Structure 1
């Protein structure tokens, strides 16, 4: 019993001493290696190659193609954007993408989901003709559920009739 009491007293003293904090020195020693950089290595070198940020920076707005009302055909401007995407994808052959089909707010939900799917598939099919493996491309339609521009005017509608390419990690 005395040993238990003595052990408890030793533990209490140890806890009391460990709870004391040291005072900070008034003067810090000089830095042995000169100034230390706070920058992360590679922080100013741009986006990581092959990342979504790299894709967006390389595409400079060509990650999105636009469509006319109720259309899903690939025009010459779309061909140029998709060709740039195919070149980027050729540089990163293990990278996969999702093509998102979108519509403006007009029309029923069902109609817009079907139209968005046709737009995403049209972009996919064009990329396949440029040599991108179809197995690397998935498609999804959001219909009118994810507008890029809010508003009920022609400018907003034009921005929402689109297919967007998103890279997958």
Structure 2
């Protein structure tokens, strides 16, 4: 995986470690104070700007590591990242948030992301994301999820079982 990261791979690798071991970070500066991030805080910005990890090649590498002994279980998730105050953020969209119990508003302005992950265990919460992609204003959650599932399945040796988050259904279809 390290060799696939391209430019700024050392800083990207440290950044991934910092994200994994930091319970909650509200800024890049907080990530730069992680004991596993061995660089100056500005290298986080440089790593993100210069590093363009090849998603397709990384997905193929992850798939090659999956066990071939049993049927794989994949899960899909649509996540809304609320950014109502980021007025200069490119391509913000209206996103449905399926969190009625939290008191959050059901619709927010921000960006949507679609993730498809391998679920290795029957119980537990660990998962290996195979693809994590932004849903642009030119896409919708269902078409993005379908394209991701097709791409992953084309690279698997056998047909998986797939489970999907209810938030892929449009809010008006829930009524």
On whether the aligned pair clears a TM of 0.5, the verdict is: no
Q: Which has the larger radius of gyration?
A: 1
Q: Which has the higher contact order (CA 8 A, sep 6+)?
A: 1
Structure-1-length-normalised TM-score: 0.30
Structure-2-length-normalised TM-score: 0.29
Higher strand proportion: 2
Higher helix proportion: 1
